[in-house]
């Protein structure tokens, strides 16, 4: 006859093993989430604006990432990347923002239909050996997340 009774030590071992298994599964899930490409950032309107708030002491790092983006788009053989480069411009706020941070705005006009305007996938494809370092520069430069807004043309006053 089998006994259902176990010693307290055996019970703690089972609980500990279960916790280790749960932590391992969560760690693998987090690693997979990091390894996955970020969701695409598409421009669905007639024009789009992407906002980046950059730490005051990290503007040079952010601008170096944007420089690498320009280089990646220029050397890409992807026709959509060439079109993106033609209408994708970055602007830097002249006046310091709150806490000395700097607002960068990427203006996308005209947008390429269904193109991804997320910086990271373009950089990863062009510079796989530098991907981690570029990601670290980009991540550490930002104060918060990146946001974008799509705009519909109401009136072009010059036409």
At 85 the pLDDT is 97
Structure tokens at 91: 């602007």
pTM of the predicted model as reported, rounded to 2 decimal places: 0.74
Structure tokens at 151: 């705009």
Report the SS3 class of residue 136.
Answer: helix
31-35, 46-50, 84-88, 131-135: least confidently modelled range? 31-35
Q: How confident is the model at residue 144 (pLDDT cuts 50, 70, 90)?
A: confident
Closest CA to 58 of 138, 151, 155, 150: 138
Could you confirm whether domain 47-151 is CATH 1.10.3470?
Answer: no
At 129 the pLDDT is 97
* pLDDT at residue 1 is higher than 70: no
Residue 62 · residue 52 · CB < 8 Å: yes
Pick 23 or 142 by higher pLDDT: 142
At 40 the pLDDT is 80
At 20 the pLDDT is 40
Residue 47 · residue 107 · CB < 8 Å: yes
Positions of E strands within 1-159: 47-54, 88-92, 102-108, 147-151
Find the mean pLDDT for residues 134-140. Answer: 97
At 56 the pLDDT is 95
What are 19-77's pLDDT values in tens digits? 444 334 333 343 343 445 567 888 999 999 999 999 999 999 999 999 999 999 999 99
**Around 157, how many Cα atoms within 13 Å sit in the side-chain half-sphere?**
0
Distance in angstroms (rounded) separating the CA atoms of residues 22 and 121: 31
Kindly give the residue spans of alpha helices, DSSP state H, lying in 36-105. Answer: 59-75, 79-87
At 42 the pLDDT is 87
The 10 Å Cβ neighbour count of residue 134 is 21
Per the prediction, the chain carries an average pLDDT of: 83
């Amino acid at each position: 006859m089998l006994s259902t009774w176990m010693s307290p030590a055996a019970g703690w071992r089972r609980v500990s093993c279960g916790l280790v298994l749960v932590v391992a599964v969560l760690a693998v899930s987090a690693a997979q989430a990091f390894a996955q490409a970020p969701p695409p950032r598409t421009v669905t309107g007639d024009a789009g604006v992407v906002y980046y708030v950059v730490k005051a002491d990290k503007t040079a790092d952010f601008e170096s990432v944007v420089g690498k983006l320009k280089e990646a788009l220029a050397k890409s053989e992807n026709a959509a990347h060439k079109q993106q480069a033609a209408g994708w411009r970055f602007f830097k706020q002249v006046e310091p923002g709150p806490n000395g941070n700097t607002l960068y705005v990427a203006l996308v006009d005209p947008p390429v239909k269904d193109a991804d305007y997320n910086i990271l996938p373009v950089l990863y494809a062009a510079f796989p050996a530098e991907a981690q370092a570029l990601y670290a520069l980009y991540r550490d430069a930002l104060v918060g997340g990146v946001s974008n807004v799509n705009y519909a043309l109401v009136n072009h006053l010059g036409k």
